[in-house]
Structure 1
Amino acid sequence: MTEKRARGQAAESLARRHLEANGLRLLSQNWLCRRGELDLVMLDGDTVVFAEVRYRRHAGWGGALESVDARKREKLAYAAQQFLQQEPRWARYPCRFDVVAIDSMDGDTPPRLTWLKNAFDT
């Protein structure tokens, strides 16, 4: 496993623990379809949450939160549609997209985690 992949998995694990500590329940992790991946699919009460986990080691190219651009949102929306088609028991529930952004997870300083609910509502 590459160092980058290991950091990504550590970030997803941190995000999952944070969401579960806030009452969300895991439905699926790293769900794949032909054109994308859903990092975490969680249940928040009766709402299906598609949580995108973004980690940035350095903010030089923009922070983790800023890295979710229009193209990424489109891919996530497509993957979520595929998930709901393949898992029809969740299709009747309300859905939302959250972003869990993690900056500076270098060991010297505690990671800075930002959880943005309804991240794509503008």
Structure 2
Amino acid sequence: MQARISFITLAVPDLAAVRTFYVDGLGWAPALEEPDEVLMISVGERIVLSLWSEAGFEAEVGPIRRGAGLVPITLAHNVPTADAVDTVLEQARTAGAPEVSQGQWREWGGYSGYFADPAGFRWEIACNPGPIGQSVL
């Protein structure tokens, strides 16, 4: 098996709200859309963000574990500068992100902040000056 991710699939409680956030708010274009079922967005070369309604996800994959706390995953979007981090965080705020942190310098040497989409998934917006961070720009 090759080391590669083709789809990131996230189960969301309100697909319409998530669509409004990503498509109308952030301006991302749907690659495939089945209302009330799934929204797929190409987010890079050969990688798709697949947002499923919870009901459809559970029917195919299995029951979702529910409880207090954050969803134990973050998605990351790297940008070349700290100013670009702040710009994207403000764009997320304007798009209606229910939670947006301020960008800050991190112990690992970069600058980042987080926002939540309407389903609670956290996106890290980061400027990572190290080689691994630069490799994804």
Shared fold (TM-score, shorter chain, > 0.5): no
* TM-score (norm. length: structure 2): 0.29
Q: Which has the larger radius of gyration?
A: 2
* TM-score (norm. length: structure 1): 0.31
